Amino acid sequence: MKNFEVFTPVQLRWEACFYCGGHLPALKKEHIFNSSWTGKHKTGALICDECNAAFSFSVDTAFKSYTKYHMNVWSLKGERQKSVPTIETEGEIIIKSGAQPEEKPSSFFSYEEGNLFYTAKAPNKPALRQYLNEQLSKDLGRDLKEDEIKDIKNMVRNASSEIKPLNSVQLYDSIDPFLEIRSTVHTILKCMALFDSDFTKHVSHKVLDFSRHGVGNWQEFAFLGNSSLDVASTYFKHHPDYNAVEVYYLPSTKQILAKHIILGRIIRWVVLSNIYEGPHKILFVGEPSLGGILKKFLLIFSETFPPSAQIERGMKEVDFIEDLMTLAQITLGPDAQLARLFRGMEGIFNDFDVLTQEHIDEYKDTLLLFLNNMFRITSLIIQCPIPYSEEDMLCGLMDNGLTELEAYVGQINIAEGIIDTMSRPIQYVFSQVVQLGEEAKLKEKNK
Ligand SMILES: [Zn+2]
């Protein structure tokens, strides 16, 4: 017998809501993976309208404190969201889509001899004008007169601008492990209900009640876990953003353990049963960001080759906090640089017909800036400087394709060898980043 077999499970349609037995099909379709994490696939054949509505305000927003970082940096927005999430900070800075920091508009005013004096600042002139109009009208408690609007226009025209470097920002957030774990259990139960008609035999009322009504403690379900396979990240190798569920049916320990992954970044493990009897199997359900179609398969294992998944220990509140801190640091740090690099490359090479020296210079500057920032950020994160020589990096880039690329100036974008030559400097950059990561690890260890 083979070690395991792969099946494509059939999607089920329930006759009645699996939580309460209520009427189906529901009028309002339910997202399998929450739309605020870029889930798109919907069904009306699992849970009734009443149960669906009960989740929508609190449970469905439980992971916002985490997902907003990833979505901001990569400029992603959910189906129901009007815009990419912004990130507020403790200071004057607000982080806009694409990890772009911007100073919040602010103003000071004083009265002297019946005259109102104003100083104000904003990220750009149109924003300054809009802010002054709104703020002044608010402060005066009335609509502005025409000459006042004109004055503001003049003031803004003559305003001076400055560029300030930004080093670090203080972030604040709130998290709720109880709602997070409910949201995780709810998502996993929906995936199980979609493809496993027997799931309520193994999953007790306690689990259903916790998910649907919030009865019980999250500590009974959440744990830090690991598994011998890493199904989702193997399957979604080429998608940085995906939502997925892996359900491990483990007769040897009678457990059903499940792993929930949000945006390829946030991982929660929960235990759903201690009375499971049946074959060793893994149910996988996933959806790439805004994909709309669920990817699913069922792996059934032979007795002699069971998969393994273990509980390391129960989750504590501090684990959630650490998770959020790491996520914020990685997304706003290295991820944001990578996103910026990709945007920069797109800007340079999108629709280029003929290669010019300007293209090459811009390419060089973009790559150098990226490397420079990556070294700086990594040093900050590990709190230990990593030496960086811009000169060495420039030499490396020149030796790895940039010099050769100059021979293609004036040639069209499909000229033989041009794409290969163009991709070499970026390969060099990524090899430097890998080295940097290893160096950082070493320094952390020796600290
Ligand atoms: Zn219901």
Tell me which residue of 208, 286, 298 sits closest to 249, measured CA to CA: 298
DSSP of 250-283: ETTTTEEEEEEEETTTEEEEEEEES---S--EEE
Tell me which residue of 154, 92, 90, 161 sits closest to 118, measured CA to CA: 154
- Ligand 1 centre to CA of 252 (Å) is 33
- Ligand 1 centre to CA of 209 (Å) is 12
Residue type, 340: R
Tell me which residue of 261, 201, 190, 252 sits closest to 17, measured CA to CA: 190
Supply the DSSP symbol for 333: I
pLDDT of 28-86, one tens digit each?
999 999 998 999 999 999 999 999 999 987 888 899 999 999 999 999 988 878 899 99
Cis peptide before 25 (omega within 30 of 0): yes
Residues whose CB is less than 8 angstroms from the CB of residue 3 and which lie 6 or more positions away in sequence, other chains included: 301, 302, 304, 305
Rounded to whole angstroms, the Cα distance separating 306 from 445 reads: 35
- Ligand 1 centre to CA of 54 (Å) is 9
- Ligand 1 centre to CA of 100 (Å) is 42
pLDDT one digit per residue (tens) for the chain, 447 residues: 578 999 999 999 999 999 999 999 999 999 999 998 999 999 999 999 999 999 987 888 899 999 999 999 999 988 878 899 999 888 888 899 988 888 888 888 777 777 777 788 888 888 888 888 888 888 888 898 898 889 888 888 888 877 666 667 788 888 999 999 999 999 999 999 999 989 999 999 999 999 999 999 999 999 999 998 899 999 998 887 899 999 999 999 999 999 999 999 999 999 999 999 999 999 999 999 999 999 999 999 998 888 999 999 999 999 999 999 999 988 998 999 999 999 888 888 887 788 899 999 999 999 999 999 999 888 888 888 888 899 999 999 999 999 999 999 988 877 788 888 999 999 999 999 999 999 988 988 887
Rounded to whole angstroms, the Cα distance separating 380 from 382 reads: 6
Does an H or E element contain 314, and which?
Answer: strand 309-314
The structure tokens listed for 408 are 């293609």
- Ligand 1 centre to CA of 18 (Å) is 7
Residues whose CB is less than 8 angstroms from the CB of residue 41 and which lie 6 or more positions away in sequence, other chains included: 31, 32, 33, 287, 291, 292, 293, 294
By the 8 A CB rule, do 207 and 76 touch? no
Instruction: Give me the residue label for tokens 């750009």.
Output: 124
